[in-house]
């Protein structure tokens, strides 16, 4: 598995907010929920994302927008349209005054919400999936601008998601989760390859025959007792060559990169209460819980137990500051 694949393999959608938004003009929704990542695809009409500094992004059918929750914005039929709803920092939905919840008032059908309950008279239809915090995805989030619009044309994934999002069948949540993941992966890969999204150092490094191989080995064998010498031997070069090329292309030495990757995976694993500290330590390459705890605290600024017991938002913020 390559670096992009393994980074995306960790933060799989588990319980994302999935919604079909159906609107009649004039309409606009104020978004302040700071969700780490939201995937928006438009199947009818036009959606205009407008940030407080006046920057706008048009999303039309065939586009997929990847939106980081770093700045509040409005999405509507055009910039400046009065809000019909406001989603606050807690994810609650209110009328523009903030005094009356409209979350249930605007719900209709299966996973459908908006000011128009009749598709035939709707001016805009959007499919929205919002990811919860996932530590493994931080490298990807760091690579994204606050809004990246990816033209994907008549991609079959969009049609599949549109069909499935309104169904209420057994295992439907699992189907939607995987479709959302595939749409995200496809959008990220296409935006990096086309140059619309700045390719990160680790993504560019993947094309190097030596460093790309080293990255694949580290990502696929995170539990291995790697050293610079063993990694160099596995890639067929000297320690000096590997250390120099890896640092130049990735931006940090091989073992520092491995530690960061291990701590990111560990943070994601700690979210599962069924996994013991010993099991997490073993899965990320540490022989004892004590050694793992010391490394985690040194890297994240808090013990694994404290990280596990902290509210998810607080843990994510502490981890981001320590990364």
For the stretch 160-197, pLDDT in tens is: 999 999 998 888 888 888 898 889 888 888 887 776 66
HSE-up (13 A, CA, CB side) for residue 297: 11
Taking only Cα atoms into account, the Rg of the chain, rounded to an integer number of angstroms, comes to 22
Q: What H or E segment, with its residue span, contains residue 190? A: helix 172-194
Q: CA 65, CA 59: separation in Å to the nearest integer?
A: 7
Burial class (CB in 10 A: 0-12, 13-18, 19+), 23: buried
Residues in the chain: 323
Contacts of 272 (CB under 8 A, 6+ apart): none
* pTM (2 d.p.): 0.73
| Alpha helical stretches, state H, 63-109 | none
Kindly give, in sequence order, each residue whose CB lies less than 8 Å from that of residue 227, ignoring residues fewer than 6 positions away: 255
DSSP3 helix / strand / coil % (the chain, rounded to 5) = 45, 20, 35
Short-list 118, 265, 144, 238, CA closest to 198? 144
pLDDT for residue 272? 84
Q: What confidence score (pLDDT) does residue 323 get?
A: 43
pLDDT of residue 255: 96
Q: How far is CA 234 from CA 56, 247, 254, in A?
A: 48, 17, 13
Pairing of strands 85-87, 56-59: unpaired
3-state secondary structure at position 113: strand
Query: For residue 267, what pLDDT is reported?
Result: 85
Long-range contacts of 190-193 (CB under 8 A, 24+ apart): 190/150, 190/152, 191/66, 191/148, 191/150, 192/4
Sites in the chain below the pLDDT cut of 70: 1-16, 133-139, 195-202, 311-323
Structural contact between residues 127 and 161, judged by C-beta atoms closer than 8 angstroms: yes
| Residue 73, pLDDT score | 95
Unique residue bearing structure tokens 């595939």: 182
Distance between start and end Cα atoms, the chain: 24
């Amino acid at each position: 598995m390559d670096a992009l694949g393994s980074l995306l393999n960790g933060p799989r959608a588990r319980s994302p907010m999935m919604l079909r938004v159906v609107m009649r003009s004039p309409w606009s929704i104020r978004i302040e929920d700071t969700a780490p990542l939201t995937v928006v695809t438009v199947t009818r009409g036009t959606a205009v994302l407008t940030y407080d500094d006046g920057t706008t992004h048009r999303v039309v059918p065939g586009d997929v927008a990847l939106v980081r929750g770093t700045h509040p914005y409005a999405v509507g039929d055009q910039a400046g349209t009065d809000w019909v709803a406001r989603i606050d920092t807690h994810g609650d939905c209110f009328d523009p005054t903030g005094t009356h919840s409209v979350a249930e008032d605007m719900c209709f059908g299966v996973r459908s919400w908006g000011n128009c309950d009749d598709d035939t008279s709707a001016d805009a239809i959007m499919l929205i999936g919002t990811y919860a915090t996932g530590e493994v995805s931080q490298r990807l989030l760091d690579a994204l601008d606050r809004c990246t619009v990816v033209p994907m044309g008549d991609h079959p994934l969009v049609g599949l998601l549109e069909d499935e999002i309104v169904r209420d069948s057994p295992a439907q949540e699992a189907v939607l989760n995987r479709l959302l993941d595939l749409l995200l992966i496809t959008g990220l890969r296409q935006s990096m390859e086309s140059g619309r999204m700045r390719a990160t150092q680790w993504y560019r490094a993947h094309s190097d025959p030596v460093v790309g191989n080293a990255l694949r080995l580290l990502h696929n064998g995170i539990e291995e007792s790697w050293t610079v010498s063993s990694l160099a031997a596995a890639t067929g070069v000297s320690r000096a060559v590997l250390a120099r090329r890896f640092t130049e292309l990735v931006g940090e030495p091989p073992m520092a990169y491995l530690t960061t990757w291990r701590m990111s995976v560990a943070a994601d694993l700690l979210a599962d209460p069924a996994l013991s500290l010993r099991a997490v330590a073993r899965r990320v390459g540490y022989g004892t819980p004590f050694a793992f705890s010391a490394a985690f605290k040194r890297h994240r600024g808090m013990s694994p137990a404290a990280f596990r017991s902290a509210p998810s938002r607080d843990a994510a913020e502490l981890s981001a500051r320590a990364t």
